[in-house]
Amino acid sequence: MTTHKPRRAMVGSAAAAFIQRDDAKVLLVHHAGTGHWVMPGGKTDDTPGGGETPRQCCDREAREETSVPVTVGRLLVVQWLPSGRNGRYEVNPFACHLFVFAATIRPQDHARIHVPDTELLGWGWWDPIEAPGVMDATNTRLLTAALRASAGTGPAPAYLEELPPYAPAGGDVA
């Protein structure tokens, strides 16, 4: 009789930058892959030997997605994302921890923001009250938690869990 050892779960990491101006508007980018507006960010570079930390990822992704220097500050939110569908992408086989850090862009650099044409459709400063109207439910929860943590009206860092969709008997995912 052969017994099989269970495989270890593969978990990735990602990071996003919560960037808010003095007038309280937040920077969002229009993601080409999902069609949604999100905070600048992306997956960690998991190269052999350890890759980058979530903070390093936040710094790199925010600079890549804005084309200006970004200063990464304190951790605001950690979110658990299960494997499964992600917007218009195919099934993501790995669960992910998403880290959101407070970040700043110098006011003199605001007019110089430019997003990469192949990855993003645009960018803009959004009123936090209006932003949920252009975001998906997961990113709306993430932005709300970052706003509260940044303002000191919620836990910092906040912890969120996105639960996998219900799988009925037979294994099909609804």
Q: Give the per-residue pLDDT at 75.
A: 98
Distance CA 31, CA 28 (A): 9
Distance CA 59, CA 72 (A): 6
Per cent of the chain over pLDDT 70 is 80
- Strand duo 41-43 + 11-19: pairing: antiparallel
Mean pLDDT of 133-157: 94
- Better-scored residue on pLDDT, 95 or 27: 27
Q: What predicted TM-score, i.e. pTM, was given to this entire model?
A: 0.85
Q: Tokens 């400063």 appear where?
A: 125
CA 66 to chain centre: 15
Distance CA 114, CA 158 (A): 30
Tokens at residue 59, please?
């710094």
pLDDT of 135 > 70? The answer is: yes
